[in-house]
Amino acid sequence: METPKNPLSIDVRIREGFSRIATAMRIEEWKKAKEVGLNPTQLAVLALLEGRKDGLNVKEIAAHLGVSQPSATDSIAALEKKEHLEKRAEQGDRRAVRVHLTSTGLAAVQRDAGGDLAEQAVGSLEEREQEHLLLSLIKMIRHLQESGAIPLQRMCVTCRYFAPFAHPDGERPHHCHFVDAAFGQRELRVDCRDHDETDPPSRAATWEAFQAGQPNLQAP
């Protein structure tokens, strides 16, 4: 018993919503990338590499960007020409390379950071709403990565240092064993550079505990 026309399910409308926000983000990315003489893809590669001490393989870069390996090679070559990154030999495998930022490349990413429109739009939400949104995104990302659609992300919920709901404190229920401190749901990381992944079984267990500890959602 659908009411207005377009009897679409909520999933579809949410996907539409994501797509509008993605458009806005792409526009911003062009703006920001141009400021440092790059394009969004190139800036994305640099951002991906930032804070990865061991760099990444070509294949890994392709997976994170969601493009084919030759496409990643293309972008890497373009950035190499601009001396924003360099390839180093992989220890113990002479086929492979590890891609690292150069200091020029690092400077470019860092100059880029901050103050974009998507963040402003998030800022227009209430605090509680932001927290809900972050949690929903984490759930969706987890779903996507467990189904193999995207590579494993460096999120708390897949990290060996993460202890969900380890504290009775409602404001800071989680614990990070890497920094050995309690933290709240609002602090959950999507891309933590100290992330250290666990094997799938303990990942599942962590996720169980994380889900089980969540307070029930109320009607909006």
Partner DNA sequence: TTGAATAATGTAGGAGTCCTATGTAATCTG
Partner DNA sequence: CAGATTACATAGGACTCCTACATTATTCAA
Q: Least CB distance from residue 127 to its own copies, whole Å?
A: 8
Provide the residue count of the chain.
220
- Pick one of its own copies, DNA, none as the site partner of residue 71 (Cβ within 5 to 8 A by kind): DNA
Binding residue (CB under 7 A) for DNA from 15, 59, 111, 193: 59
DSSP state of 161: T
15 belongs to the binding site for DNA (CB under 7 A) = no
Q: Least CB distance from residue 177 to its own copies, whole Å?
A: 10
For 60-96, b/e burial (b = at least 16 CB within 10 A) is bbbbbbeeeeeebeebbebbeeeebbbeeeeeeeeee
Q: With 0-12 CB in 10 A as exposed, 13-18 as middle and 19+ as buried, what is 170?
A: exposed
Could you give the string, one character per residue 28-57, with x where binding to DNA holds by CB under 7 A and - elsewhere?
Answer: --x---x----x-xx--------------x
- Give, as ranges, the residues between 161 and 220 that touch DNA (CB under 7 A): none
Full DSSP string of 32-84: HHHHTT--HHHHHHHHHHTT-TT-B-HHHHHHHHTS-HHHHHHHHHHHHHTTS
92 belongs to the binding site for DNA (CB under 7 A) = yes
104 belongs to the binding site for DNA (CB under 7 A) = no
- Pick one of DNA, its own copies, none as the site partner of residue 137 (Cβ within 5 to 8 A by kind): its own copies
76 belongs to the binding site for DNA (CB under 7 A) = yes
Site size with DNA, rule: CB under 7 A: 32
Q: Which distant-in-sequence residues (6+ apart) come within 8 Å of 20 by Cβ?
A: none
102 belongs to the binding site for DNA (CB under 7 A) = no
Q: Least CB distance from residue 115 to DNA, whole Å?
A: 19
- Classify strands 162-163 and 97-101 as parallel, antiparallel or unpaired: unpaired
Locate 7 and state its tokens: 């009897």
Helix (H) or strand (E) holding 181: strand 181-183
Under DSSP, is residue 160 helix (H, G, I), strand (E, B) or coil?
coil
- Pick one of its own copies, DNA, none as the site partner of residue 57 (Cβ within 5 to 8 A by kind): DNA
Of 52 and 82, nearer to DNA (C-beta) is 82
Binding site for DNA (CB under 7 A): 30, 34, 39, 41-42, 57-60, 65, 67-71, 73-78, 81-82, 87, 90, 92-98
